[in-house]
Structure 1
Amino acid sequence: MKTFIVSGLVIIIIIGCRMALRKLASRGDAGVADLVKYHDALYPVEKAGKWGYMNNRLEMVIKPQFMRADNFQEGFAVVAIESDPGNSPSRFLFGFIDTSGRTIAAIKYHKVAGFSQGLAMVMKDEKYGYINEKGIEIIPLQYEDASSFSEGLAVVKTGGKNGYIDQ
């Protein structure tokens, strides 16, 4: 009899959870069913073709305004807006925001990589460099290619040759 009651309760709970998730999905909160609950985490959410960020209490913290929004890494997220086709070689321009939605690196780069060891690789006009967490280009845009930092080093290409730079 205990098994029957416990099984019945489990089924009721599962059905209730599925109904709640369907209700959220029908509101247009895309991706809500896939949220992994982390304290104070923000999740990219698409609404009406624009991306913003929602917390684990399902509150929209950063309003949908971006064409692309990546997960936060080291406290920052890559975001993109559509570029002006006449003035940019790429469809999107990229930059970084913090968890409050404040732009820390202008949304002007043609390519970026997330922060690694306090620096992020950025590219504009076919030249690569690095910005710090304040959005300041601390290693100028001068390389033909570049990778993210790992263990204090990054691979860069200049003059057709690859080499390492340190932080």
Structure 2
Amino acid sequence: MKTQLLLLSFLAMSVYTLGQSWVKKYDRIDGSNDGLALVKKDGKFGFVNEQGKLIVPLIYDEATAFSEEKGAVAVGDKWGFVDKNGKEIVKPQFHDVYSFHEGMAVVGNDDDYGFIDSTGKIAIPLHYIYAGSFSDGIAPVCNKKGLWGYIDKNGKEVIPFRYHYATPFTDSVGRVVLNGIRYYIDKAGNIVKQ
């Protein structure tokens, strides 16, 4: 009985190790997001599926985890996006990008930020000096005067530009700073607590 248990344990360990042998090919492996894991080898990044098959080739200088079935990738200092099949949906062209949230991603060049939609088209022009991700249908953005407010997915101002800082909404409230004091506001811009 002991011999059978020992043999069974050895067999199970061998199958597990054999199934994960692909991990030894890479210098770095991050956790899986959207069914793909970020991998790095010899200074280049790509993505593998859960079986270890390379889906996005190791040709990128930087990359971030997938979100909403898109991963951010960089060539030099320019960022773009690939889909889950490895197809570039946005050619690396931006100096800064954030992950997709609610079908939109923040993109920026120098001090100009805006948003692209899930097809990679500019949905909200790059005319803000900073932007945060969409949440609850709105996103915090900072105008050229250095004031923060919130816009909807059409780029329409929904909470006025009056704050010194603002964050994306979480649990139906946004955190803002006004005259050095932190507040929580609702989607109508009303203070719900200090």
- Please state which band the TM-score falls in when normalised by the shorter chain: 0.7 to 0.9
Q: What stretches of structure 2 of length at least 5 have no aligned partner?
A: 154-194
Alignment partner, residue 12 of structure 2: 13
Alignment partner, residue 157 of structure 2: none
Alignment partner, residue 160 of structure 1: 146
The equivalent position to 1:130 in structure 2, one of 115, 130, 139, is: 115
Q: Deviation of residue 59 (structure 1)?
A: 1.9
The equivalent position to 1:51 in structure 2, one of 40, 45, 52, is: 45
Q: CA RMSD in A?
A: 2.5
Mean Cα displacement is larger for which, 62-71 or 140-149?
62-71
Which letter does structure 2 place at the counterpart of 1:13?
A
Alignment partner, residue 24 of structure 1: 22
Using the size of structure 1 for normalisation, the TM-score is 0.78
Q: Which has the higher helix share?
A: 1
Which letter does structure 2 place at the counterpart of 1:66?
Y
Is 1:35–1:56's contact at 8 Å kept on the other side of the alignment? Answer: no
Alignment partner, residue 150 of structure 1: 135
User: What is the CA–CA distance in structure 2 between the aligned matches of 1:42 and 1:13, rounded to whole Å?
Assistant: 25
User: What is the CA–CA distance in structure 2 between the aligned matches of 1:35 and 1:93, rounded to whole Å?
Assistant: 24
Is 2:27–2:42's contact at 8 Å kept on the other side of the alignment? Answer: no
Q: Deviation of residue 56 (structure 1)?
A: 2.3
Is 1:68–1:79's contact at 8 Å kept on the other side of the alignment? Answer: yes
Equivalent pairs, count: 152
Alignment partner, residue 85 of structure 1: none
User: What is the CA–CA distance in structure 1 between the aligned matches of 2:117 and 2:31, rounded to whole Å?
Assistant: 29
User: What is the CA–CA distance in structure 2 between the aligned matches of 1:113 and 1:42, rounded to whole Å?
Assistant: 18
Of all paired residues, the percent bearing the same amino acid is 32
Using the size of structure 2 for normalisation, the TM-score is 0.68
Q: Which has the higher strand share?
A: 2
User: What is the CA–CA distance in structure 2 between the aligned matches of 1:19 and 1:97, rounded to whole Å?
Assistant: 30
Is 1:145–1:156's contact at 8 Å kept on the other side of the alignment? Answer: yes
